[in-house]
Amino acid sequence: MNDLLPEGFRPRTGSIEAWNAAYARVEDYLRAHRIHSRLHQSRLIQAILEHAAKRHERNPSLDPTTLAAVETEAWMDRWFGAVFAGCDVPGERLAATGRVALLLTNGATKWPYSFLDTGEIPEEFARTMRESSITAGPNMAVSNMVPRPIDLGVITGAAGETLERMERWPVLKTCALWIFFAAVFAGIFLFTR
C-alpha cells in the first residue's frame, strides 16, 4: 500500500493506517470543495494533520480521522470568519454562507492557492465572496386566510345539478349512459364510411 503521508509528517501516536485514513478523508473533503490543485491540497492536508496529531498526542484514545475532520472544520470556520469579518453574518450561518459563496464565485478555481491559506487572502477574492453571499428573505409572519365559496360558473353548476339528479335516479343514469354510448358508436360508424 502506498504511504499517503507527506515526508515531513511523522505522528508520534496512532497507527500509520489510521493517519492514512485521516489523510484520505481530508483529501476527499478538500476535493469536495473543488480544491483540485494537488500541491495546495498536500500543503493544507499536512498542516491540518499536524494540528490533529498534536491533539492526538494529548488524547490518544481519539480517532485520528475524527480529529482531522474536526480540525478541517475549524480551519474552514476560521478562514470563512476572516473572509466575512465585519459583515453581518451570524456565527452559526458562517460555514454555510461561506460554502455557498465559495461555490457561487468559483473561488477554488479562480484563486486555487488562496482557499484555506493561512496567509493574506486576496482582496478581490474576499470582496467577491462577500458580494455573492446570499441573505435570507423577510422574516416569517403570521397571516390569516378567510375561506370563501368557490364560484365555478353556470355550466359547472348545471352539470353538477344534473349529476346529482342522476345519482337519485339510477335507472335514468343508466339510460343516459346507454344513449350516450349509442350516439358515440353511431357517430363513429357514420363518419368512418
Per-residue pLDDT of 120-146, as tens digits, reads 788 888 888 888 766 556 677 777 888
Contacts of 83 (CB under 8 A, 6+ apart): 98, 101, 121, 125, 126, 129, 130
Per-residue pLDDT of 7-30, as tens digits, reads 566 788 878 899 999 999 999 988
The pLDDT value recorded for residue 4 is 52
Maximum Cα–Cα distance across the chain: 95
Per-residue pLDDT of 143-172, as tens digits, reads 788 888 877 777 887 777 877 877 777 787
Burial (0-12, 13-18, 19+ Cβ within 10 Å), 44: buried
Does the predicted model carry a pTM greater than 0.75? no
Closest-CA residue to 75 (of 44, 39, 114): 44
DSSP assignment string, 18-71: HHHHHHHHHHHHHHHTT---HHHHHHHHHHHHHHHHHHHHH-TTS-HHHHHHHH
DSSP label of 122? P
Closest-CA residue to 26 (of 76, 91, 87, 94): 76
The pLDDT value recorded for residue 26 is 92
The pLDDT value recorded for residue 67 is 92
The pLDDT value recorded for residue 137 is 61
- The distance of Cα 176 from the centroid of its chain, to the nearest Å, equals 57
- What mean pLDDT, rounded, does the chain reach? 82
